[in-house]
Amino acid sequence: MSTHWLIVSDLLALAVLVFVLYFPRNGRRDMVVALLGLNVGLLGIAMTLTRSTVNLGLGLGLFGVLSIIRLRSTELGQQEVAYYFTALALGLLGGMPIEPAWATPTLMGAALVAIYIGDHPKLYARNRNQTVTMDQAHTDESELRERLELMLGGTVVRLKVRRVDLVNDSTVVDVCYKLNGSGQSS
């Protein structure tokens, strides 16, 4: 595939990722800039490294370190991390010509389909994850589960107590639950 078509394929896939999938579903404007910048920057780096005598592994390793630093510099949810790495993968695919020529757009399409399905609003629409701070210290897990189910309006699937503070009478718990009924928490 020619360089021109690799760039066009990447930019089309990026537009779908950011403006059709990510922003309408998640609405974080700051991530739009990050996804666009990451992808286009990586596309340029990958194209430069594949056409120069510099070791490609060295360049990608350096970029990987920079990506990890970026991910650690602000709190991103798992959902944003998936979009972030998809933008990264699209840039790499667009920047490194592979044979056969149809492989690049096919792999880009596969990444977009995976994100489309994995982040579809109807997929597990009633399932939620949260960190809850309770105004009472709970040392009995079954009692804690009952209180959470009543408070959240759902069935607790998993809970993990992060902290029980007997002095200040509080409990911090990570809870995964499934909403009862219409899908709206109370």
Using one digit for the tens of pLDDT, what is the confidence trace for 67-110?
Answer: 665 555 567 777 788 888 888 888 888 887 778 888 888 889 99
| Gap between the Cα atoms of 115 and 23, Å rounded | 13
- Place 58 in a pLDDT band, splitting at 50, 70 and 90: low
Sheet containing 170-179: order of strands:
127-134, 170-179, 154-165
Whole-structure pTM value = 0.67
The average confidence (pLDDT) of the chain is 83
- The pLDDT > 70 percentage for the chain reads 83
Q: Is the pLDDT of residue 183 over 60?
A: no
- Place 133 in a pLDDT band, splitting at 50, 70 and 90: very high
The domain spans of the chain are 3-118, 127-179
